[in-house]
Structure 1
Amino acid sequence: MASLQDQFLKAGLIDKNKAKLAHQDKTKQKKVERRTGTESVDESRLAALEVQRKNAERARELNAQRDAAASQKAVFAQIVQLVQKNRQSKGAGDIAYYYTHGTKIDKIYVSAEVQTHLIAGRLVIVCLEGKTELLPRIIADKIAERDASLVVRVKKTTTEIDADDPYAAFQIPDDFTW
């Protein structure tokens, strides 16, 4: 491969005298550097190295973003697969079961058996892409590890009576529907 100087000569951009002078200046500069023990700073080389470093840093950032997006997509695919494989039937019921998802109160219609499973915590509600699915608690826990915002947790009601509760004497029946 010919040097850049040879390529310029062939293209007619410089003549032999200019090439010779450039070569002499370069050798003189190297000789002076050897005698004094100092190194000259090649500004164009430093600028090129800086640009190369910035490009490498930007490439690393873009790769990290791309990897994060790919891993997020893979996690979502795993969640969809878990939901499709393990969803349970809501039953052919007409009992409205109310739950809160974020700041929104929703309802689903379930059978009496499914309602008891939901209250006991054996079934959990998962909201995925606008659809509500019922899943066993074990599967819902696996989904919650990946994305907790999809899983609707039902708070278990305790039967313990608070000593300071003024309405402790007034019990609410279990079959009460709003």
Structure 2
Amino acid sequence: MPSLQDQLLKAGLADEKKAKALKKEKHKQRKQQPKGATEVNETQLRAQQARAEKAERDRQLNQKRHEEAQRKAIQAQIRQLVAANRLDRKRGETAYQFVHDKKIKKIFVDETMIDQLSRGRLAVVFVNEGYELVAEGVARKIMERDASAVVVLHERKKDDSASDDPYADYQIPDDLMW
């Protein structure tokens, strides 16, 4: 079976000079390429691709380690804040109930703490698998680091009783008995 070039020459669509010039040019190109050049390029490409994939995996692993270290540092800061600022509730006799992770939890506090919790002056924080009471300012600092650590913090009203009280301008006598 004759080649396409031979068929074009017989049909008169191409001349012999152009065919020989093309053949010579292809031969020169082949001579200029070193032997096995295509194999070397292919192996180099594979090696380069493997290096790039390994670098990407290493970068992702380093990023994951960095995020984990940062998360641990934040947890340590929260534990330190709570340890330094938690309120003592050993004398508490009244149960305060709240919801955490779709479950009702209970801690024992005294009456003033319940009042302060309801007014937003105290907060319940979940740290070290336990619940602690902290002041509102400390709870806000904890929320900046990890909002899920603060379990109960009610919004504080601007002025709890004085703004709505129509008798705020009147003085209450000291000797008034109810």
User: Shorter-chain TM-score: which interval?
Assistant: 0.5 to 0.7
Change (3 A) 1:157 1:51: closer
C-alpha displacement of 1:54: 0.8
Structure 1, 95-104 or 60-69: larger mean CA deviation: 95-104
Using the size of structure 1 for normalisation, the TM-score is 0.63
| 8 Å contact from structure 2 (residues 123, 133) kept in 1 | yes
Asked whether the 8 Å contact 1:128–1:150 carries over to 2, the reply is yes
Structure with the greater alpha carbon radius of gyration: 2
Q: 1:157 to 1:145 in 2, by over 3 A?
A: closer
**Cα distance, 1:54–1:157 mapped onto 2, change above 3 Å:** closer
CA distance in 1, matches of 2:64, 2:29: 46
The match for 1:107 is 106
**Equivalent position SS for 1:57:** helix
Cα distance change of structure 1 residues 83 and 121 upon mapping to structure 2, 3 Å threshold: same
Structure 2's unaligned 5+ residue stretches are: 1-27, 161-178
Gap runs ≥5 in structure 1: 1-27, 160-178
Counterpart position of 1:32? 32
- Give yes or no for contact 1:125–1:151 (8 Å, CA) kept in 2: yes
Q: How does 1:69-88 map onto structure 2 within 5 Å?
A: 69-88=68-87
Kept in 2: contact 1:125–1:153 (CA 8 A) = yes
In structure 2, the partner of 1:126 is 125
**Distance verdict in 2 for CA 1:66–1:154, change over 3 Å:** closer
| 1:157–1:104 distance in 2 versus 1, CA, 3 Å | farther
Q: Residue 30 and residue 67 in structure 1: after superposition, are their counterparts in 2 closer, same or farther (change >3 A)? A: farther
Cα gap change, 1:139/1:58 in structure 2, threshold over 3 Å: closer, same or farther?
A: same
Displacement of 1:150 after TM fit? 1.6
Following the alignment from structure 2 to structure 1, what is the Cα–Cα distance between the partners of residues 154 and 116? 13
3-state SS of 2:43 partner: helix
Amino acid at match of 2:140: D
Structure 1 residue 130: Cα displacement: 2.0
**Percent of residue pairs bearing the same amino acid type:** 40
- The CA deviation at 1:129 is 2.4
2:37 counterpart of 1:46:
no
Q: Which residue matches 2:93?
A: 94
Does the 8 Å contact 2:89/2:108 carry over to 1?
yes
Between the aligned partners of 1:66 and 1:157, the Cα distance in structure 2 is 39
Show the counterpart of 1:137: 136
Distance 1:157 1:49 in 2: 61
1:92–1:110 CA contact under 8 A, matched in 2: yes
Call closer, same or farther: CA 1:80–1:121 in 2, change over 3 Å. same
CA distance in 2, matches of 1:157, 1:133: 19
Change in 2 beyond 3 A, CA 1:66/1:72? same
Asked if the contact 1:91/1:111 (under 8 Å) is kept, the reply is no
